[in-house]
Structures are given as structure tokens and as C-alpha cells.
Chains A and B, each alone.
Chain A
Amino acid sequence: MTAGVFAALLAWGMVTGIDLVSFLQVMVARPLVAATVAGAIVGDSMSGVLVGMLLELYALEVLPVGGARYPDYGPAAVAGTVAAAGGGMAMLGVGAVVGLLVAYAGEGSITILRRRNTRRVREAAASLDAGNFRTIQRVQLGGITWDAFRALLLTGAGLGLALAAQRWPPVSPRAGILLTAVLAGIGLGSAVLNGKRLVQGRGGAAWLGVGIAGGVAWLLLR
């Protein structure tokens, strides 16, 4: 991997990291988007799409309500794509595991950032209450800056893990296929369960069933 590609991946991971909460929230942080772009950067679009699809199934379970903690799948998808690139279906599962580990670490990093923000807000409480715009601006823009730093570190660590996994795969190609299949199965099971929960009341299973029937019919008739 060239330094230019590495820098582009770092920058992209950082953008997806701040998009999750701090800035824009236009969903470039979704694994399907983050991994697809990462795949294009590393020159293996197909690995990017497949890693993105696999991690997107897991991201469907995230419901970021209130002060909930949730994984950071943007940098995770970037790292997962790098791990899977060029390895076919045998490395897809390894890429997904790298992605899931980074997403999990990202959850912890978001909590640390929020605690840091809380300390800054406590320190500036009197000035905030007095309606001092400079203080509000400093706290607000400081939050974005620290989140960008968090996302950069997370992406960097994820890329390190991904390159290590690519160089020293933790499983044989045969076990890699098994890993891919099991992770796809868990992701699909989770997606179905979460799809059912989207409908209030008792109609969830029916709507989900209609969709599944449509999908199966499409596969059979295309």
C-alpha cells in the first residue's frame, strides 16, 4: 500500500467518523457507503461492497436514541475493507471481524469523547449560562476537532490491525469461508429481528414476511 493510499484511507475514515455524530450526519458513516468508497480507494471495489453489505447488516441493529452508546462503523468499514482486499470470500470474514473489532473500540472511544465534552462543559458552565457566544463556539468547535482526532486515531489503529490480518491471516482459507458464512448468518438473523421490531404493534412480522416473499420471488423470477 502506497503512502498516498494510506493517507486517503485515513482521511476517509476520519470523515466517516465525524459524520456519525458531530458533523453533517449525511450517513457516509454507514458501512455500506464507507466500505464502498474504501474499496475504490484500495482498488478492490467488490471487496468494499461485500464488507460494506456484511457490516451494514450489523449496523441495522443500532438505534442511536438519547445518550445511547453505539459502535462506530465508518472507520470500521474502512479497516475491514483493507483487511479483505484481494482475498476473495476467504478473507471477507476476516475483514468483517476486523471491522467489528474496530466498531467495538469505536463505541468505547465515543464514550471517552463524551466524558471529555462533559468536563469542558462543566468548566465553562458559568460562561455558558451567561450567554457568552465565544465560549459556546469554543466548546462546539472543540467537540468537532476532538471527534476528528478520535476518528483519525481509530482509523489508524484499524488500518494497522487490517494490514496485520492481511499479512498474517488468523485462519486458513477454508476456515475463512466458514467465518464469512457464520458472520453473514448472524448478520442476517439480526437484520430480520430488527426489521420486525420497526413496526409498532403486531404487524411487524407480516410486513417483514411480505418483503421476504417479494425478495425470494425476485430471486426466482429474475
Chain B
Amino acid sequence: MATPSVTAFVRSALRLLTVQAAFNYERMIGVGLGYASEPLLRALPGGREGQHYHEALGRAAGYFNAHPYLVGLAAGATARAEHEGVPGPQVERLRTALVGPLGAVGDRLVWAGTLPAASAVGLALSAHTRAGVGAAALLALYNVPHLLLRVWGLVAGWRHGTTLGRALAAPMLRGSLTAIGPIAACAIGFATPLVANRLVGDLDLAAWAAAVVGAGVAVVVLRLLSPRFGALRLALVAATAIVLGTAL
């Protein structure tokens, strides 16, 4: 089996940064997966003009959806399977089997964990430090794990190939999944009074009362109507009422 060069892996990792560029309702991020996998497929027998390369690339650009940061696992694993001569239908089944787990793990680890935690730390720091410190902290806290996850995914995908389940069962990943939710919830809780103090702390009693009423209405309404009717829409309704109310 010919192994792709280090340059091919670097190129693939860079292309993974654009994996959702052609997000669409037909193949979701499949075209992006094909684009990112292509450098790893060049070393297939026959090279870029060969039949194997085109068949593998066609499969790679089919329907696929997962968390974008974990697509590297799929790119590495399916490229490895193609290099090992695994039959096309089996590669397709591998891709299909990865959609659910890679989506669920990534969504929990990143969107419902790392991102809100980093955001909360950024908010807390913004409330009580110089301008820019909070934003810088958010970027640093988020992107170190983010970029590590992307690189790890590609390398682990290639290393494990069709036995990719082992990579997803890694103790480090399992431990992170368990810990990140409570950390994020705790961080948001910590940031909330600091942000409240910064945004309305210097305002008068009437404004404080308005903020408390706004928070109470939000909790009640969003518990009942979210996600169909979220905070953004509630805020726009409230703003319209205030603008019209003061104009009349």
C-alpha cells in the first residue's frame, strides 16, 4: 500500500478548514469531504489519471454530514480504506456509519461544550478587564482544542481506517465528553452576574427592574417556545414594543 506524503496530509488538513464551503441540502458537506480527501487519494494505483482515483473521489464527494471538525476522521479512514483496496460498497457503508457518531460526538464536544465555555470566559473577562482581553481569551481557549481536534481527526482516521470506532472510544475523548458540559454550564453561570453587573450595574432602579422583568419573561417564554421562537425574536418583539410605545 502506497502511503500519501506528509505534504498530502498537510494539504488535506488545510482543505478541511473549508469543509462546509459548499454546504447544500443535497449532499450536505460531502463535496467538502471530497475536496479535503483528494490529496490523500493521489497515491492510489494509477495516480490522478487512474480509474481507482476517480472512483474513490466520486465516492468521497457523495452525501456526507458530520461535525465539521471531525470530518478529518472520515477523510483519513475512507482514504485508508481506499488504499487498502476495500470494495467500494464497503467504503460507502463506512461513510454512512460515521455520519451519526461523528455528528453526535462533535456537537456535544464543541457546539454544546467548548464553544459556550470559551464564550463564557470571554464574557467574564470582557466585563472586568481591558477591551480585547475577553475576545482574545475566547479565541485562544476555543482554537487550541479546535485545531488539535482537526489534526488529531485526520491522523487518527488514517491510522485506524475501517476500525475507526477505536479512535472514538479513546479515554481522552470519552472523558472530555463527560466533563465539558458541566464546565460550560458552570462558566456560563459564573459569567452571568459579571455581565449583568457590567451592562446594567450603573443604571438606575427603573432600568434594573426592566432588566429583571426582561430576564423573567425570557426564561418563561423560551422554556415554552424555544427553539421555534428564540431569544433573538423575543428581543426584536420587545424592542418593537418599546420603540412604538415611546413614540406614541
Contacts and interface: CB of A to CB of B under 8 A. Distances in A.
A52 B126 CA distance: 9
A123 B185 CA distance: 45
Interface residues of A, number: 109
Interface stretch (A2-10, A24-32, A153-161): A24-32
A11 interface: no
A198 B116 contact: yes
B143 A21 contact: no
Interface in B87-116: 103, 107-108, 111-113, 115-116
A157 to B, nearest CB: 16
Q: Could you say which interface size class chain B belongs to?
A: 35 or more
A175 B197 CA distance: 20
B58 to A, nearest CB: 4
Given A27-B139, A54-B199, A215-B192, A65 B107 contact: yes
The secondary-structure label for the interface of chain B is helix
Contact of A215 (B146, B189, B203, B218): B189
A114 B112 contact: no
Contact of B194 (A144, A213, A219): A219
Contacts of B134: 32, 36, 49, 53
Contact of B22 (A52, A103, A120): A120
B231 A143 contact: no
A24 B214 CA distance: 35
A215 B139 CA distance: 22
A113 B185 CA distance: 33
B24 A121 contact: yes
Q: Which of B58, B138, B188, B227 has the most CB of A within 10 A?
A: B188
B182 to A, nearest CB: 4
Interface stretch (B5-13, B25-33, B152-160, B164-172): B25-33
B152 to A, nearest CB: 16
A53 B198 contact: yes
A194 B116 contact: yes
A63 B107 contact: yes
B192 A219 contact: no
A190 B229 CA distance: 12
The secondary-structure label for the interface of chain A is helix
Given A26-B143, A177-B203, A211-B186, A56 B218 contact: no
Given A26-B143, A186-B214, A118 B132 contact: no
A42 interface: no
Interface in B178-216: 181-182, 184-200, 202-204, 206-208, 210-216
Interface string A110-126: 00001101101110010
Nearest to A37: B135
Given A56-B122, A185-B214, A39 B131 contact: yes
Given A65-B107, A186-B214, A211 B187 contact: yes
Given A182-B214, A186-B215, A189-B216, A177 B185 contact: no
B222 A198 contact: no
Given A22-B21, A36-B134, A175-B246, 6 more contacts: A143-B21, A143-B22, A181-B207, A185-B212, A185-B218, A215-B194
25 contacts: A25-B146, A26-B139, A33-B139, A36-B131, A36-B134, A49-B131, A56-B119, A58-B232, A67-B65, A93-B239, A100-B235, A130-B54, A136-B31, A143-B31, A144-B18, A170-B243, A175-B242, A181-B210, A184-B200, A184-B214, A185-B216, A187-B231, A193-B223, A211-B192, A215-B193
Report the 6 A-B pairs with minimum CB-CB distance, sorted nearest first.
A211-B189, A185-B214, A189-B218, A195-B188, A131-B57, A131-B54
